[in-house]
Structure 1
C-alpha cells in the first residue's frame, strides 16, 4: 500500500470560524504505535498517522500540549 507523502491536518480554533491548517510530510520513521510519522517544516508539529487515517500527535517539547486534529486529509 502506498502511503501519502503529506497530509493537511485541520485543528479547531475556538472563537474563530476558520480552523488552523498545517501540512505535514512523511519522515520515513515509525512512531510508538508502529505507523508512519509526519512532521511540518519547523519540526514542531509531529503526528503518527495510521493506514486508516487515525492520528496520534507526538510531543516535541517538554511543555508542549498536543491537540488532536479534527481532520487529516491526504495530499499526495
Structure 2
C-alpha cells in the first residue's frame, strides 16, 4: 500500500479542453486481472495498474463508462 499514480486523461473530444490529471492511491485490493487497484480520494476513479504501468479502468457505479488515461505516472 502507499503507492500512488497520476493518471492523465485527454480533454473532451472535439474541444480544446486541457487534460485532466487525477491522483490515485493503492486501495490494498486486487482487480479482475490480479493487479493492484488504485482509486482517487472520492472513490469514483478506480483503475487496475500492472507492474508495467498498463491501466485498466474499473467502473465504480452503474451506467459509468470510464475513459482510459493516456498516461500513468508513478508518484513518490
- 1:18 Cα shift? 2.0
The number of residue pairs the alignment matches comes to: 74
Q: TM-score with structure 2 length normalisation? A: 0.90
Partner deviation per Cα, 1:19-48 (whole Å, 9 max, x = no partner): 001000001110000000000000000000
Residue matched to 1:44: 44
Which residue of structure 1 aligns with residue 4 of structure 2?
6
Instruction: Flag structure 1 segments of 5+ consecutive residues without an equivalent.
Output: none
- Structure 2 regions of 5+ residues with no counterpart? none
Query: Structure 1 residue 63: deviation in Å?
Result: 1.0
Normalising by structure 1, we get a TM-score of: 0.90
- What's the Cα RMSD here? 1.4
Which deviates more, 3-12 or 53-62?
Answer: 3-12
Q: Does 1:24 align with 2:10?
A: no
* Partner Cα separation in structure 1 for residue 73 and residue 17 of structure 2: 19
